[in-house]
Copies of this chain bind each other. A is one copy, B any other.
Amino acid sequence: MAKETFVEQIADIDSDFPQWYTDVVLKTGLVDYGPVKGTMVIRPYGYAIWENIQSEMDRRFKQTGHSNAYFPMLIPMSFFTKEAEHVEGFAPEVAVVTHAGGEELPEPLVLRPTSETVFGNMYSKWLQSYRDLPILINQWANVVRWEKTTRPFLRTSEFLWQEGHTAHATEEEAMEETMKMLGVYREFAENCLAIPVICGRKTEKEKFAGAVATFGMEAMMKDGKSLQAGTSHYLGQNFAKAFDIKFLDKDGALKYAYTTSWGTSTRMIGALIMAHGDKRGLVLPPVVAPVQVVIVPIAAKKEGVTEVCRDVYAQLCAVGIRVKLDDSDNSPGWKFNEWEMKGVPLRIEIGPRDIQAGVSLVFRRDTLEKTQIPLASLASAVPALLEKVQREMLENARVRRDGRIVRAENLEELLDGVEGGNFVKAGWCGDRACEDRIKAETAATARVLDEDEKSERCVCCGKKAINTVYFARAY
C-alpha cells in the first residue's frame, strides 16, 4: 500500500549474512517486530507466502486422508506432567495464564507450545473401538514458546504452524504414518519451496520430548548452516499410556493406541529466504510467491503503453497467474530494484519500441536472465516459464547443496568442514558423550542420520561407528 520514494538498502549477503537476513525480512515488508519482545507481526506480503504454503500443504493433508479441527490453546499445567520427558522438554519455555475474568485461576493454564497433551486427552474420550481407528487430525494454529534469543520466522515467542496428531491400532501403521508425512513434507519442500531437503532419523539427544523416534527434514541455507524445516514423530504408546488412549480391539482385548505427531511452521518462510536469497534480496519460487509476475511499463506516458500493459495484465490474470501491474509514479529503475528485492519470479517490461516490435522483455529473478517474448504469446509462455523457473530453482539449489556436503574422518576435518559452510557426513559411535564433544568443539550438531550409508570409525573417538550422521551448524 505504501508508495515509497526510495528503495531500501540491504546489507551485503557475503560479508554479513545475519544482517542481510534482518534487512531482507524487514525491508521487503514480510514481517515487523511486535510490541512484546520476541513477537512478530506477519505483514501482508509475508502472510501471502504463508497462505500459499497453507493451501499447498492442506491439499496434501486432505489427499492423505486427514481432516482439520481446532483444539483449545489453553492447557491445564497438570497435563504436561503426565509424560515425563515431555514436561522436561517444554516446561522451561511455557507461558502461563494465572488470572482470567478478574480472578486467580484454580489451576494455572499453559499456552500450548505443542498439543500432544490436549489431543491425547480428547482422543482418550473419543476412542472406543478398533473401528474408530485410525484417527487422522491436523490443526492450523498459533503456538507459544518463550525463547531468550529470537529472530523473525526462525524463533519467536509466538508462531504459526500446523500440527498433525494421529492414533493407530498398531505400531506398524503408526510408523507408516510417521514416514508418510515425512514424505509429504519432503515432496512439498522440493516441489513448492524448491528446497532440496535431507530427511532422516534424529539422534536421541535431538529428538522430540516424549517421542520414541523423531524424523526431521533439514535444509541447507546459503551460509551452509542447516535449518530444521519440519519433523515427524513416532510416539509409540508413550502418550497413549500418559493419557489413557485405549480401544477394544477385534480380539476383544483393551489395548493402548500408537500415536504420531508431525509439524511445520512459519519457520519455512525463513528457510525460503535463506535458501534462495541473493545480494539483491528475496528470490521466491513461483508456487509460493505472492506476486508471480510484475509488469513494468517503460515510458508509460507514451501512447499505447498503458493499454498494452493492462491488456497483458488481464491476459495473465485470466490464465490464473498472480500478476501485478506497477503503474505507480516511480521510475522503471526504482521499480526494478523494488520488485527484485521482493523476489518476484518474473518481470515483464513493455515500452513503446517493444510494442512496435510486438515483443516484451522478460527478466528472470532467479538467474537474472533476460529474454524477448512476443506479446502475443505471453499468455502461454509465462505459465511455462514459471514452471521452468520452479524446476530449475530446485535443481540449482540441489547442485549448490550437493557441492557442499563433505566427509570427515576426524574432528579437525569436521571443524574445517562446517567452518567452510558445509554439511559434514561422518561416522559416529552412537555415544552421547561424542555427540556432546562434537558440539562443544565445532558448534555443529547431529542433524539427521543417513541410515543407508556405512561408516568405519567414529569421527570423534575413533571407535567403531554404528551410524553415519549429517553434522552441521544449525538455526
Report which A residues bind B (CB closer than 8 A): 1-3, 32, 34-36, 39-44, 46-48, 50-51, 67-76, 79, 91-102, 108-109, 111, 118, 121-122, 125-126, 128, 131-137, 141-142, 144, 146-148, 157-158, 160
B67 engages A44 (CB within 8 Å)? yes
Distance from A83 Cβ to chain B, minimum over Cβ atoms (Å): 15
B94 engages A69 (CB within 8 Å)? no
Residues of B near A157 (CB, < 8 A) are 72, 74, 100
A40 and B122 alpha carbons, distance in the complex (Å)? 11
A34 engages B68 (CB within 8 Å)? no
Residues of B near A99 (CB, < 8 A) are 95-96, 98, 108
A-B complex: 6 closest residue pairs judged by Cβ atoms: A101-B146, A44-B67, A95-B100, A39-B72, A34-B72, A42-B70
Residues of B near A74 (CB, < 8 A) are 34, 36, 39, 95, 144, 157-158
Closest to A118 in B: B35
Residues of B near A146 (CB, < 8 A) are 100-101
Residues of B near A137 (CB, < 8 A) are 44
Residues of B near A76 (CB, < 8 A) are 35-36
A51 and B55 alpha carbons, distance in the complex (Å)? 12
Q: How many copies does the complex hold?
A: 2
B95 engages A96 (CB within 8 Å)? no
Residues of B near A95 (CB, < 8 A) are 74, 97, 99-101, 109
A70 engages B51 (CB within 8 Å)? no
A264 and B167 alpha carbons, distance in the complex (Å)? 33
Q: Secondary structure of the A side of the interface?
A: mixed
Distance from A5 Cβ to chain B, minimum over Cβ atoms (Å): 9
Given known A-B contacts A135-B1, A146-B100, A68 and B44 have beta carbons under 8 A apart: yes
Distance from A45 Cβ to chain B, minimum over Cβ atoms (Å): 8
Distance from A127 Cβ to chain B, minimum over Cβ atoms (Å): 9
Most buried by B among A2, A72, A121: A72
In the complex, 7 of the A-B residue pairs with CB atoms within 8 angstroms, ordered by the A residue number, are: A1-B133, A35-B79, A44-B69, A50-B70, A97-B97, A97-B98, A141-B142
A48 engages B68 (CB within 8 Å)? yes
Most buried by B among A2, A35, A134, A157: A35
A127 and B157 alpha carbons, distance in the complex (Å)? 26
Given known A-B contacts A92-B102, A96-B98, A131-B3, A32 and B122 have beta carbons under 8 A apart: yes
Given known A-B contacts A67-B44, A95-B99, A97-B96, A158 and B72 have beta carbons under 8 A apart: yes
Distance from A39 Cβ to chain B, minimum over Cβ atoms (Å): 4
A73 engages B1 (CB within 8 Å)? no
B3 engages A72 (CB within 8 Å)? no
Closest to A119 in B: B41
A73 engages B135 (CB within 8 Å)? no
Most buried by B among A3, A42, A73, A148: A73
Given known A-B contacts A93-B101, A97-B111, A100-B94, A40 and B135 have beta carbons under 8 A apart: no
Distance from A410 Cβ to chain B, minimum over Cβ atoms (Å): 39
A144 and B48 alpha carbons, distance in the complex (Å)? 25
